[in-house]
Amino acid sequence: MDDHAHTPAEKILTLDRLVERRADARRGGQRVVQCHGCFDIVHPGHIRHLRSAAAQGDRLLVSITADRFVNKGAGRPVFTEDLRADNLAALSFVDWVYINDQQTASELLTITQPDVYVKGAEYEGNNDPRFAEERAIVETHGGRVVFSSSDVVFSSSALVERVEEADSTRAKLRMLDRAYDLSPSALEGTLGRIAGKRIVVVGETILDTYIQCTWPEVSSESPMLSLRPLERSRFDAGCAVIALHLAALGVEPVLITTLPGSSEGEAFIERMDAAGVRVHAVHSGDRIPAKDRYLVGREKKMKIDHASDLTLDTRARETLIALIEEHTLGADACIIADYGLGMFTPRSLVRASSAARDRTPILSGDVSGRRSSLLSMRGAEMLCPSEHELRFASGDYDSSLPAVVWKTLESTRARSLAVTLNEEGVIHFSRRAIEELGEQDAWANRLNSVHIPSFARHPIDTLGCGDTLLAITTAALTTGEDPCRSLVLGSLGAAIQASTMGNAPITHEQLVSMIRRTLAPRTGSQQEIKPLPETPPAWT
């Protein structure tokens, strides 16, 4: 039988079949040439190497390292062992392909005993003991070790790196990984340490309703848009969803918020209790602030804001401060979010943040809405405003972002700012240590900044991404995690949030899956890549 006539699939051999073919070649007086390697991306250097090897004998055997023994860094091998074997078998001058499930080729060489063993030119001066062992085995059985030409040298690793560097997001991730170790095992370890932490969340509760409509028409009575609702999905939003994110990650959250003294408020408390969130409410208003969004497909056509301003009298504000003082004592962290609905005045927000800062090691915060008071959040470990919120709070739309950040750090005495930039991700700003500064250093040089790219490839709905970022980042900080690694976890959660409609809590399972999909080896990973778990449904 003419081995050269075999189809590519028939060239990929089991060990038993390889032994038979080798014995047949020996009986027929044919010289067997063997090459061994990863052969992850078959490039021109590989082609020249293998073609040169084929010319050394009658049959060319190419053995490849099994996936679990490829040790070339994160994301490698790019292609699975089966695909790599298929690629090699498709080459006309390759006769046999074998997937070697051993750490080195030594054991296989003892079995195949090739007449010629061909290695790349870079091995000629190589003192690697593994290659020395392979060489000794080949020569002991009467074979020769030959080095291929070095006229053109390529590296799969270098090619992969160049492709990744061309992708700005991957390039930034590589830099972050070198600095902070973004391995899935490390980040999943942080998630594991979050469970059982107690975090107090303070701020307004909002109800978000998504109303799916038929395709819009122009009304016949006047030139206005006509929408016909089909279905509604309701989400507990504002500080409520921050608490729900935390509960879904195994945290023990306490929510301090305003609620009406009505059946609506009681139903809300029951929903939160069922999700693992303890609620302590200051009574205010006739209904929970609500916002309705009308959609056609994935496009939002209109929003109706039912969020009337909350009005807290002096007694209610004192009750609010007393609740914060009581429940932050001994807590692992406190999150304050001001949505500008009237729960806080600038003065009461200063009191609230000061009370939390004195009683818990970590205070974080964010704002939303034109009546919010970012500059009144004092002494926070981290504030997480968007660039627009930051500039609005400072009244500075013209200075550079670092200049506005510095002024805000000075005003709030915050330790750091994580400024979100929509699709560009988030930048973490912190003060440089005093010992790092020279006397003549300008303020611009007194900031450290780290850019974390957005992980949301095809965002559908960015509403609530800031809440997700704040919740997960703060939870990670309670474990003693580095702020930038904490923000990576928060950004991954925000990417999950952006991929679905509505503002449902992100589960531990979803976040683990996102970590593995984004930061683990992508194609060819030994770890099965599964679809993201479904987001918990809205309540209706």
In a shared domain, residues 111 and 174? no
Lowest-pLDDT choice from 211-225, 349-363, 371-385, 397-411: 211-225
End-to-end CA distance of the chain: 70
**If you average pLDDT over every residue of the chain, what do you get?**
86
Average pLDDT, stretch 62-82? 80
Q: pLDDT higher for 291 or 70?
A: 291
Count CA within 13 A, CB hemisphere, residue 313: 3
In a shared domain, residues 416 and 360? yes
Which stretches does DSSP call E strand in 38-169? 59-65, 96-100, 116-119, 144-147
Q: Is the model's pLDDT at 97 over the cut of 50?
A: yes
257 contacts 263 by C-beta, under 8 angstroms? no
In a shared domain, residues 383 and 499? yes
Specify the pLDDT at position 450: 92
In a shared domain, residues 177 and 131? no
Which stretches does DSSP call E strand in 239-374? 252-259, 278-283, 290-296, 299-305, 333-338, 363-367
Q: Is the model's pLDDT at 1 over the cut of 60?
A: no
Specify the pLDDT at position 167: 58
Specify the pLDDT at position 159: 56
> Which range is most confident: 36-45, 185-194, 530-539?
185-194
383 contacts 393 by C-beta, under 8 angstroms? no
The count of structural domains within the chain is 2
Residue 537 lies in a domain: no
Q: The domain that contains 231 carries what CATH number?
A: 3.40.1190.20
In a shared domain, residues 275 and 378? yes
Gap between the Cα atoms of 326 and 470, Å rounded: 23
pLDDT tens per residue, range 473-499:
999 999 999 999 999 999 999 999 998
Q: Is the model's pLDDT at 174 over the cut of 90?
A: no
pLDDT tens per residue, range 180-200:
889 999 999 999 999 999 999
Specify the pLDDT at position 374: 93
Any bridge partners for residue 238, and if so which? 205
Percent of the chain exceeding pLDDT 90 equals 59
Specify the pLDDT at position 72: 64
In a shared domain, residues 154 and 177? no
User: Which of 127, 161, 195 is the endpoint of a domain?
Assistant: 161
Tell me the whole-structure pTM to 2 decimals.
Answer: 0.67
* Residue 329 per-residue DSSP state: T
Residue 527 lies in a domain: no
Q: pLDDT higher for 48 or 326?
A: 326
In a shared domain, residues 500 and 375? yes
Nearest to 118 by CA among 39, 15, 37: 37
User: Which of 161, 179, 210 is the endpoint of a domain?
Assistant: 161
Per-residue confidence at 3, pLDDT binned at 50, 70, 90?
very low
In a shared domain, residues 487 and 362? yes
Specify the pLDDT at position 77: 78
Q: Which domain holds residue 132?
A: 3-161
Residue 475 lies in a domain: yes
pLDDT tens per residue, range 440-477:
455 556 889 999 999 887 788 888 999 999 999 999 99
Dig out the tokens for 361 from the structure: 């090691």
Distances (CA, A) of 114 to 4, 28, 84, 110, 227: 18, 14, 22, 9, 76
Residue 340 lies in a domain: yes
Q: pLDDT higher for 533 or 35?
A: 35
Residue 49 lies in a domain: yes
In a shared domain, residues 125 and 211? no
Gap between the Cα atoms of 399 and 407, Å rounded: 11
Owner of token pair 């969020």: 307
Specify the pLDDT at position 300: 86
Residue 531 lies in a domain: no
Specify the pLDDT at position 427: 94
B/e letters for 305-333, b = 16+ CB within 10 Å, e = fewer, are eebeebebeeeebebbbebbeebbeebbb
Torsion of CA 47, 49, 51, 57, to 10 degrees: -150
Residue 524 lies in a domain: no
Q: Which residues contact 49 (CB under 8 A, 6 or more apart)?
A: 35, 118, 120, 148
In a shared domain, residues 312 and 410? yes
In a shared domain, residues 325 and 409? yes
Q: Is the model's pLDDT at 388 over the cut of 80?
A: yes
Q: Is the model's pLDDT at 262 over the cut of 70?
A: yes
Lowest-pLDDT choice from 224-228, 356-360, 502-506: 224-228
In a shared domain, residues 216 and 150? no
Specify the pLDDT at position 525: 36
Residue 339 lies in a domain: yes
54 contacts 94 by C-beta, under 8 angstroms? yes
509 contacts 495 by C-beta, under 8 angstroms? no
Lowest-pLDDT choice from 317-331, 415-429, 511-525: 511-525
Q: The domain that contains 68 carries what CATH number?
A: 3.40.50.620
Q: What is the 3-state secondary structure (H, E, C) of 2-29?
A: CHHHCCHHHHECCHHHHHHHHHHHHHCC
Average pLDDT, stretch 226-232? 87
User: Which of 161, 194, 224 is the endpoint of a domain?
Assistant: 161
Specify the pLDDT at position 528: 41
Average pLDDT, stretch 130-144? 93
